[in-house]
Amino acid sequence: MNALSAKPAVLVIVGGSMAAVKAPSVLRRLRERGADVRVIATRAALQFITELSLSTAADGPVGTDDHWFEARPDALHLTHARVEAAVVVGASAELLAGAAHGHAGELALATLLSVRAPVLWVPAMNEAMWTNPAVQANVSTLRGWGHRFLGPEEGAFGTRGEGQGVGRMSEPDAIADAVTALLSPAPPRDLEGVRVVVSAGPTREYLDPVRFISNPSSGKMGFAVAQAARDRGADVTLVTGPVTLPDPPGLRVVRIGSALELRDAVLSAALGADLVVMTAAVADYRASQQNGEKQAKVAGDVTVHLTPNPDILAELGREKGRRVLVGFAMETHAGVERAALKAQRKNADFILLNYPTREGTAFGGEDNQVTLVRPDGSFEDWPRLSKREVAERLLSEAARRLPVRT
């Protein structure tokens, strides 16, 4: 058990899900670690767990919509927001949607809008709901604002354990660990003043006004690098191809379409940069001739002439100077060898090698499992980590290579 040094105030919001029954254990674990807990239960949560169980476990009153507007010096959604961390246990699709859209019509949501401390979501819902694009879009929005997520886990869930798949809420000990981590001192601002350029997402190479060549890159890895660099104090420019992720606050975002546009944006941002991280999945080819008008189909086969796109990382490598350059590579075979050759050819300091065929870590996933490969062929296998953790490690590696600043 990891005890907390001071007595930090932690807000625990309990959502309407079967997992609400685990909320008292979460409250007890947090109190055992020295947290001063405040609880809010949504109307839906109180269908699953009684107010009495929650107030007993919290050793204090439970904030509910019914007492929200009782006369008191300060409104409940403001007093309960003055905390060092907030955690939403049994987070339902409804709460995620409300928070992602700034709703304030119930105490839990109004309080979340007022919280300035880090927020951790611990979702619990069935797999069909969790994987629904509407829910995932809300999760992406919240992540973009810096909210953290724990789970949901794979396993049995539901009243009779009838559900199987991703959707089960993480266990109270894991939740208490994650809240403790949120309360730990902020990450070092070791990139204060460092100018970082990150490219992300796919490019689109139009054949005519309505057809293009592209790839399924989600942009999540690049956004994670940009956000982690921002949080460590860097001045960040994020150049991204078409992705569904919203602009993260606190950094410069340049949206581009084609590889040629990506090249212009990256090269101009890189002029004053100390570190360039190329996570973009750049299309290797574009149409030799782009048709200005939509091409109607014809009988039989058609031939499309493609011309190679410039290699942006290699171009940066040719005029490297003191800039640190990091690339990504995707290989299905002879990964390390090929990635080392790529790092040499492009003059990159190192390359993170991905495996597109590994489950959960390929295009669009939340995690990544990479191997760091240096131009001399030496390498390190990193474990499967969240994209944010991969980003943090990448930045620590890159930071070691930056010239010493005075």
Write out the residues near ligand CTP by the rule CB under 6 A. Answer: 259, 278, 280, 282, 284, 309, 311-313, 327-330, 342
The nearest distance, CB 144 to ligand CTP, in angstroms, is: 22
Query: CA 341: distance to chain centroid?
Result: 30
Question: With respect to ligand CTP, which residue has the nearer C-beta, 207 or 314?
Answer: 314
Residues labelled as active-site residues: 215
- The H-or-E segment that residue 177 falls in is helix 172-183
One-letter amino acid at 136 equals Q
Question: With respect to ligand CTP, which residue has the nearer C-beta, 107 or 394?
Answer: 394
Q: How big is the CA angle at 368 (ends 366 and 374), to the nearest 5 degrees?
A: 150
The nearest distance, CB 285 to ligand CTP, in angstroms, is: 9
Bridge partners, 122 (sequence order): 89
Question: With respect to ligand CTP, which residue has the nearer C-beta, 125 or 280?
Answer: 280
Interior/surface letters 193-214, b for 16+ CB within 10 angstroms, e for the rest: ebbbbbbbbbbbbbbeeeebbb
SS3 28: helix
The nearest distance, CB 279 to ligand CTP, in angstroms, is: 6
The nearest distance, CB 262 to ligand CTP, in angstroms, is: 8
Long-range contacts of 259-262 (CB under 8 A, 24+ apart): 259/203, 259/205, 259/283, 259/286, 259/309, 259/310, 259/312, 260/286, 260/309, 260/310, 261/203, 262/199, 262/203, 262/312
Question: With respect to ligand CTP, which residue has the nearer C-beta, 141 or 309?
Answer: 309
